[in-house]
Structure formats: structure tokens, C-alpha cells
């Protein structure tokens, strides 16, 4: 009976984690370039139950031989192992804001790689993002809304010398007679990326990504456009309802075990 408490409780914790992930997805449904997280639920290792006994042999000495009978497996509950981002490209929409940029990939659907903007956070670390909702700071540098520098191919901040600049489909930034290339990274396996602060992405161990221009991947950069979040609000709401119902069912099972335990302690003990 005590094992049932842990099994039901683990199911409740897993569904609570599922709810948190889905709530965060819905909250970022309008965040450009946001990749929806998907919870991965795993079951704890299954136990194999056996009945251990002995069998009497009708002999003069009354021999007994060990006998084990397989009863079956016993599941011990589930847990939320991790949240895996969905890197499918979101819809591309026109904004009319010339500091907005969208990466349009020409990769095949079964490809595991992806193209990302390269930015530098406040600690000087390289991070990656699909959110091309950029702006220009007071010093004329192209930055994210959080103030992180957008980098060029050489790994340096991009100086636009004001708000009058053009971005070519090949990723070239033309401003005040100067040309530079956007720092675009190619990640061979997007599942190697880890989400960090402000949904910026990094490679495990801060490994350096490949150059998108020499990777052979097909892509274009569209100025005045943004990639929308790939969150499906209707599907997320449906999943939230399902997770809530699963949580509620586990809660009822837990209460049933609690009631049974209460009877065992209060009623059976009184009879003794």
C-alpha cells in the first residue's frame, strides 16, 4: 500500500511539471522565434516480482527443492525527465520594422541542423537565438531587446551608424558605405542546444558552432520580417486540460490509499 502512495505522488509531480512547461509555452506564444518545450515523461524502472518457496519431494528424507514462481512486473510510477525544445520553424510574418530579421531555412524536414543568429550576452559569452526582433542602441550597435550585441561573422558587434541600413538575403549588412556579414551559426544537431536566460541558446560546454555560410545549408535573411513562435495555443490548452485531469486522477488514487490506510490504523487496530 505504501508503494501506491509513491506511485500516485510521482504521477502528480510529473503532471505538475507538464503544466509548468505548457504554461510557459502559452506565455511565450507571441514571443518571436520562441521554440516550444515538450515534456518527456519516463517510467521508473519496472520491478519483477517472484514468489520464493520450496517444493516437497516425496522421498524417505523429505527433500525440499527451491521453487520460484514469476508473478509479473510492477510499475513504480513516472517522472518528467526533461523538457526538449521543438526547433520546427515558426510562421514568417511581415512587420514593416527594418530592424526585424527572420531566418528562412531551406533545409529538408528530416534535417537535424538549424541556422541561428549569434549574440553576445553581458558576460561576453556567445549565445544563439532565432528571435530577430532587434534594435539599435544609442551608440549605433545592433542589439537584441535585452541589450545583447548582435555579432558579425568575425564575432564583433555590428555597427550600423544609425538607423539607416539594409540587410541582404545573403546576410550582408550594408550601412554608411560599410558592408559586414551577420554572424550566423549552423548547429548540426539542434538537440545539443540548451536553453538559458531570456531563452538564449548555448551549446553544451560552450562549444563553438559552425559557420552557416560554409555549412552548405540553404537559408535566406528577410529584413522587415519576424519568425513567429512555433507554439500551438489550441493544442497547448488541450494538453493542459489533459495534464490537469491526469493530476486529478492521481490525486483521487492518493486519497483512496489514504482512506484505506486510515481504516487500517483506526478500525483494524481497534479490533485487536
The pLDDT of residue 222 is 94
Q: How far apart are CA 168 and CA 174, in angstroms?
A: 8
Q: How far apart are CA 66 and CA 21, in angstroms?
A: 51
Contacts of 270 (CB under 8 A, 6+ apart): none
Q: What is the pLDDT of residues 12-31, one digit of tens each?
A: 888 989 999 999 999 999 99
Percent of the chain whose predicted confidence (pLDDT) is above 90: 44
Residue 185 pLDDT class (50, 70, 90 cuts): very high
Residues 167, 260: one domain? no
Distance of CA 136 to the CA centre of its chain: 30
Q: How far apart are CA 50 and CA 71, in angstroms?
A: 5
Residue 62 pLDDT class (50, 70, 90 cuts): low
Q: Can you list the positions of beta strands (E) in the chain? A: 37-43, 47-56, 64-74, 78-85, 92-94, 101-105, 114-120, 126-129, 134-136, 142-144, 149-150, 165-167, 172-175, 178-181, 184-187, 193-195, 201-203, 210-211, 219-223, 225-227
In a domain, 130, yes or no: yes
Domain that holds residue 76: 2-83+241-271
Residues 189, 260: one domain? no
Residue 171 pLDDT class (50, 70, 90 cuts): very high
Residues 33, 127: one domain? no
Q: What is the pLDDT of residues 131-145, one digit of tens each?
A: 999 999 989 899 998
Residues 150, 108: one domain? yes
In total, how many domains does the chain have?
2
Residues 140, 247: one domain? no
Residues 204, 78: one domain? no
In a domain, 120, yes or no: yes
Q: Does residue 151 contact residue 142 with C-beta atoms inside 8 Å? A: no
pTM higher than 0.85 = no
Arithmetic mean of pLDDT over the chain: 85
Give the residue-averaged pLDDT of 40-49.
Answer: 75
Residues 122, 185: one domain? yes
Amino acid at each position: 500500500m505504501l508503494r501506491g502512495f509513491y506511485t500516485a505522488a510521482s504521477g502528480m509531480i510529473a503532471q505538475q511539471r507538464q503544466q509548468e512547461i505548457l504554461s510557459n509555452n502559452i506565455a511565450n506564444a507571441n514571443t518571436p522565434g520562441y521554440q516550444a518545450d515538450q515534456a518527456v515523461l519516463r517510467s521508473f524502472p519496472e520491478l519483477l516480482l517472484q514468489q520464493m518457496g520450496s517444493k516437497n519431494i516425496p522421498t524417505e528424507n523429505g527433500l525440499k527443492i527451491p521453487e520460484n514462481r514469476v508473478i509479473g512486473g510492477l510499475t513504480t510510477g513516472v517522472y518528467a525527465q526533461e523538457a526538449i525544445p521543438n526547433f520546427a520553424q515558426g510562421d514568417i510574418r511581415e512587420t514593416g520594422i527594418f530592424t526585424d530579421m527572420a531566418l528562412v531555412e531551406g533545409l529538408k524536414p528530416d534535417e537535424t541542423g538549424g541556422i541561428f543568429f549569434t549574440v553576445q550576452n553581458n558576460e561576453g559569452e556567445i549565445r544563439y537565438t532565432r528571435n530577430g526582433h532587434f534594435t539599435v542602441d544609442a551608440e549605433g550597435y545592433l542589439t537584441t531587446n535585452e541589450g545583447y550585441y548582435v555579432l558579425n561573422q568575425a564575432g564583433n558587434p555590428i555597427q550600423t551608424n544609425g538607423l539607416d541600413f539594409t540587410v541582404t538575403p545573403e546576410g550582408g549588412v550594408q550601412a554608411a558605405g560599410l558592408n559586414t556579414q551577420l554572424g550566423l551559426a549552423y548547429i548540426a544537431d539542434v538537440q545539443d542546444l540548451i536553453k538559458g536566460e531570456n531563452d538564449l541558446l548555448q551549446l553544451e560546454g560552450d562549444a563553438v558552432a559552425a559557420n552557416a555560410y560554409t555549412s552548405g545549408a540553404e537559408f535566406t535573411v528577410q529584413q522587415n520580417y519576424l519568425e513567429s513562435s512555433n507554439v500551438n495555443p489550441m493544442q497547448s490548452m488541450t494538453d493542459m486540460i489533459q495534464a490537469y485531469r491526469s493530476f486529478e486522477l492521481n490525486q483521487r488514487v492518493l486519497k483512496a490509499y489514504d482512506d484505506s490506510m486510515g481504516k487500517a490504523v483506526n478500525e483494524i487496530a481497534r479490533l485487536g
